Amino acid sequence: MSGWASKRFWTEVAVVPEGDGFAVTLDGRPVRTPGKARLVVPTRAFAEEVAREWAAQEGQVDPVTMPATRLANAAIDKVSASRPEVVEMLSAFGASDLLCYRAEAPERLVARQRAGWDPLLAWSAEALGADLCAVQGVMPVAQAEADLARLREPVEAMDAFELAAFHDLVSLSGSLVLALAVVEGRLSAEEAWRLSRLDEDFQIEEWGEDEEAAEAAELRRTAFLDAARFHARLTPRRPRV
């Protein structure tokens, strides 16, 4: 089965071993990516996530409801072909990490950022060996190259599937440290998302919530939580710090 089917035509969805990984089949036919590659993933747990999405389709197939399948497609068709560039792009977030740029006022927000973000920078220094500097305001601060290199190490260790999930954790939060804290077990995904939203939530408290912005934020939150769950399914044996 190549690409996205327009309508459901299958009865049975199955997960089957294939090589060093696991494939998903529809009535015995292997699912393929839009690039025509066989959709084979590293772990059974993640393959089961993909299989559940195909099993849940009724009538018209809706890719929007299939985040695990989309992630697998991206990992196979895109990330695997440009892994060094993806590693470089994600690692670069460490140089401008959200946690390092603090408000100058009001004091309530300053205190909230200090209470929420300082423990994560301390964890980064202790557990990852990356002691990042925090500043007030928006002027760039130069982080030490040695610290940025240490943040890059766990990113380099990820395979294409892990990187595809990790990409969403980093890009949606704006923080390499928060994303690493999730995959290393320091924070739950919900905690990390809340910490990434300190500024936005403070503004909502001050000025009220815009309905369209709230809907967009909820979509981003769902995508963030999905990415964390998928990363965990892809790395069941990764040691936690």
Q: What is the model's pLDDT at position 153? A: 97
Q: What is the model's pLDDT at position 236? A: 61
Q: Within this chain, do residues 57 and 123 fall inside the same structural domain, yes or no?
A: no
DSSP count for the chain of H helices, then E strands: 10, 6
Least Cα distance to 9 among 57, 79, 63 occurs for 57
Which CA distances in Å does 2 have to 23, 70, 161, 172?
13, 14, 20, 30
Q: Identify whether 72 is part of a domain.
A: no
Q: What is the model's pLDDT at position 240? A: 39
Domain tally, the chain: 2
pTM, rounded to two decimals: 0.93
Q: What is the model's pLDDT at position 5? A: 64
Q: What is the model's pLDDT at position 8? A: 86
Give SS3 for 32. strand
Q: Within this chain, do residues 57 and 86 fall inside the same structural domain, yes or no?
A: no
Q: Identify whether 139 is part of a domain.
A: yes
Cβ-based neighbours of 38, under 8 Å, separated by 6 or more:
18, 23, 30, 31, 32
Q: Within this chain, do residues 46 and 98 fall inside the same structural domain, yes or no?
A: no
For residue 16, the 8-state DSSP code is E
Q: Within this chain, do residues 164 and 50 fall inside the same structural domain, yes or no?
A: no
Give SS3 for 60. strand
| Unique residue bearing structure tokens 């007030």 | 136
Residue 20: which CATH number?
A: 3.30.2180.10
Q: Each residue of 188-201: pLDDT tens digit?
A: 999 999 999 999 99
Which CA distances in Å does 129 have to 19, 114, 188, 219?
37, 20, 21, 33
Residue 87: which CATH number?
A: 1.10.3580.10
Q: Which residues pair with 14 in a beta bridge?
A: 25
Q: What is the model's pLDDT at position 241? A: 36
Q: Within this chain, do residues 146 and 51 fall inside the same structural domain, yes or no?
A: no
Using CA atoms, how far apart are residues 12 and 9, in angstroms rounded to an integer?
10
Q: Identify whether 195 is part of a domain.
A: yes
Q: Which domain holds residue 100?
A: 81-234
Least Cα distance to 1 among 235, 12, 199, 104 occurs for 12
Q: Identify whether 193 is part of a domain.
A: yes
Q: Within this chain, do residues 43 and 151 fall inside the same structural domain, yes or no?
A: no
Q: What is the model's pLDDT at position 239? A: 40
Q: Identify whether 52 is part of a domain.
A: yes
Point out the residues of the chain with pLDDT beneath 70. 1-5, 236-241
Q: Within this chain, do residues 111 and 37 fall inside the same structural domain, yes or no?
A: no
Q: Within this chain, do residues 51 and 105 fall inside the same structural domain, yes or no?
A: no
Q: What is the model's pLDDT at position 139? A: 87
Q: Within this chain, do residues 127 and 200 fall inside the same structural domain, yes or no?
A: yes
